[in-house]
Every structure is written in C-alpha cells, then in structure tokens.
Structure 1
Amino acid sequence: MKYVFMLLLLTLLVNCSQKKTQNLSFNNFDIEVEGEWKKLKLQGVDSDVGGFITENNDTVSFDYGPYSNSLEEDIVIFERKFLKEIIKEHPETDTSKMVIVSDLSKVNQEDFKINKKHYEKISGYNAKIVSPKRSGEGITGVYFDSLGASSLGKIKFTLYGQNLNFKNQKELLNAIRTIKFKK
C-alpha cells in the first residue's frame, strides 16, 4: 500500500510539473509557447506583421520585413548648462522624462537604460535578446538583423512585448529560443 501511494504521488508531481505548450505557426516562422496564447492577425504594408495575446491579455507583436524595430533604447542625456539654454529658447519644453546631469563625461548611458541586452544564436541566426532590468517595466523581445534580402533591402525580424509581468516575460524569453524560421 505504501508503494502504491508513493507511485500515485510521484505521478501527480510529474504531471503537475509538465508545462502545457503549443506550437504557433506563422507565414515565416514557428514558435512554441507555454500556456494558452492566441494568435493575433495584423495587416502590414511591406512586412509580415502579427502577434499573439498572452493568458493575461498582454500583446506580443512581431514584424518580419525590412523596417523591423531594432529594439535599441535611445537615452538622451543633457548637461544642466545646455538645458538652461534650450529652455530659454523653448520654454514649452517638457523636461519630465529628460535625464539631466551636471557633467556628461562622468555618465555611463547604460546606467539609465531600463532594458538589458545580450546576443545568442537562434535558428542559426545571430539574435539580440532584450529584457527589462526590472520585470514589468520595459521591453522583452528579440531582434534579428539579417535573415535574407528582398527588393526593399535586408529582411529583419522583431518579436516583443512591453511591460510584461514576470511570468509572461519568462514565458516569452523561453519561447524566443524555440523560433524556427521557414526557408
């Protein structure tokens, strides 16, 4: 009886730890996602665009084409002395989201970025993976700079979500590593 109970408990634990995944197939790639994410159809002009909706109703979008977002985070930092001149010329300037420092030469721009990035090979291509330094604030996604060429230029690919909670961020990062491009 003791062994039967242990066997039942072990079976229950194994079944609970297995995550439900599904394969989503799009025109140019396949991806494996955890949970019940739903495909989202969007209309693009010169790119294949679309996405999916997570279980928490967050949107993850993709763009396969020549104008895909590189997921670069541009931070503009102003020295206080130059900002005074700008405001003097343009008093309506909104400074609420500006980074203002006293000495620009002593500043590392990376310290002000909300996302971090690293590079991996996925589906045989170099990929830039971006994720927030703090969950819930920033972009979680991937960017491929060159998947081929078209009459409009290099084919690029971006897939990303914004301000995802920790669970969706982790699931998206796992899914990104399963991307398989169709030839």
Structure 2
Amino acid sequence: MIKSLSRFSLFVLLLTGCGYKSDHNDTKLIDFGYFTINVPKEWEQIKLRGEDSYVGEIKIDSDKVVYFDLGWYSNSLNEDDDQEDYMIEKGNIYLRDTPKVVKGKQVYNYKYLDTATETNLQKVRQNKVDRINIDGYKTKLVLSKQTSNGVTGVYIDSLWKAGDSKDRFMMSAYRLTEVQRAELLEAFKSLKFYQAPKRK
C-alpha cells in the first residue's frame, strides 16, 4: 500500500508541474455514510436519490461537480465503451471521419487506424489509466491527457460482497482546471470506506 501511495503522490506532482500541496486547514471532512473524503472547504456536498445505487455529488463551483456512484452497476470509466471519435471492432481501431451530408443528415464513416493494442489505444484515448491503491482497495485511476477536457476519476471494482454480486464505486469529474484536478487527486487519496450499504 505504501508503495502504491508513493507512486500516486509522485503522479500528482508530475501532473501539476509545480507540485500541488494541500493545506489540511483549508479542507473539511465529508461523511457520506459509507465513506468519508477530505475536500477543499468551499466544495459543497449535494445529496441525490438513486434508483438502484447510492449516488451523490460534491459541488466544486457553479458549473463543475464531482459525481459518485456506489452500487452494483457503477460506471467503470472505460473510455473505449463510450466513445464517438473512434471504435474498436474485431481487434482493430477505426477513427471517425469528417461527416458527409446525405439527404440532409450527417453520415459518419470510420477509417482503419491500427490493431487495438494498449499502445495504439493510448494514442486515441483522451484519458490515461493507472492502477493504484486507495484505503487497501485496488483502484483504477483515470486522468485526462489535457486539463479542461476529459475525466478525472477513480473506480473500484469490488468494495463489498452484495448477495450474488458486489458493490462497486466510481467517483469522477469532467473538464477540471489544473488546480481543481490536483485538489481532486488529493481528495481521492483521503477516501476511507467503512460500511457496506444495507440491502432490502
């Protein structure tokens, strides 16, 4: 765990260039019932009602929020599954071409790029993926290659056993500034999980 957290901290420093450091006097602890997280004092907790999972938000500013989903069907933040600029088919990558207008409608064609190896996929993805450890859980860390575009998020595939399934956890935000992204990365490190959701 220490090795993973050190790697994570180094990742944060490399991302921000100047090395963002949080001041614990400027943070507050938010308790969501099943987990806690330390965030900047000005961020606000927002309660939501989910259909089949526990969801909520943390408001960063007037137009940006951190969203979380704890349940059986939490989004795994797999960019390849939710993409319009490229598609993967039969082990190959195809890039979407400039649309043509046919009978008043835009029609897209896809052109072959290369085989769908991890190296080739990294060339077309907006986000980078790393594997880290948070609070003892194996965690997928997703970071946009450019600030103000893409996603900053974490995904844990198995928090607790839930009947025949398992509870998963996702927390993410989109289009963050460099400072906001560094603050969120610091917040991710502070995540502590302590209670499994009660099932009816």
TM-score range normalised by the length of the shorter chain: 0.7 to 0.9
**Deviation, structure 1 residue 21:** 0.6
For 2:116 and 2:162, how far apart are their aligned partners in 1?
A: 43
Which residue is equivalent to 1:60?
A: 66
Match of 1:116 in 2: 128
Q: Who is 2:94 aligned against?
A: 78
Q: Which letter maps to 2:114? A: L
Shift of 1:153: 1.3
> So what's the TM-score if we normalise by structure 1?
0.76
- In structure 1, the gaps of 5 or more residues are 1-16
8 Å contact from structure 1 (residues 35, 55) kept in 2: no
Residue 147 (structure 2) aligns with: 135
- Structure 2 residue 22 is the aligned partner of structure 1 residue 22: no
**Contact residue 79 and residue 104 of structure 1 kept, 8 A:** no
Aligned-pair identity in percent equals: 35
Q: 1:43 aligns with which of 49, 52, 55?
A: 49
Q: CA deviation at 1:148?
A: 1.3
Deviations 1:35-93 (A, max 9, x none): 3110011110110000110145411100000000000111414379xx8xxx9xxx956
Cα offset for 1:104? 2.8
**Greater Rg by CA:** 1
| In 1, Cα distance between equivalents of 2:186 and 2:137 | 17
Q: Structure 1 CA distance, aligned partners of 2:166 and 2:63?
A: 32
> Once the two structures are superposed, what CA deviation does each residue of 1:104-155 show, in whole Å capped at 9, x if it has no partner?
3498121010000101110110011111100010000100000112136111
Distance 1:148 1:134, change over 3 A: same
CA distance in 1, matches of 2:113, 2:171: 37
Residue 9 (structure 2) aligns with: none
1:3-14 matched pairs, under 5 angstroms: none
Code of the residue aligned with 2:79 in structure 1: it is E
**1-side partners of 2:133 and 2:162: how far apart?**
22
Deviation of the 1:162 alpha carbon = 0.8
TM-score (norm 2): 0.70
**Which has the larger share of strand?**
2
In structure 2, the gaps of 5 or more residues are 1-21, 81-85, 88-92, 196-200
Match of 2:176 in 1: 164
Aligned length: 158
Structure-2 separation of matches of 1:79 and 1:71: 20
Cα distance in 2 for residues equivalent to 1:168 and 1:175: 10
RMSD: 2.8
- The question of whether the paired residues in 2 share the 8 Å contact of 1:66 and 1:152 is answered with no
CA contact (8 A) 1:135 1:163 kept: yes
- 1:79–1:115 distance in 2 versus 1, CA, 3 Å: closer
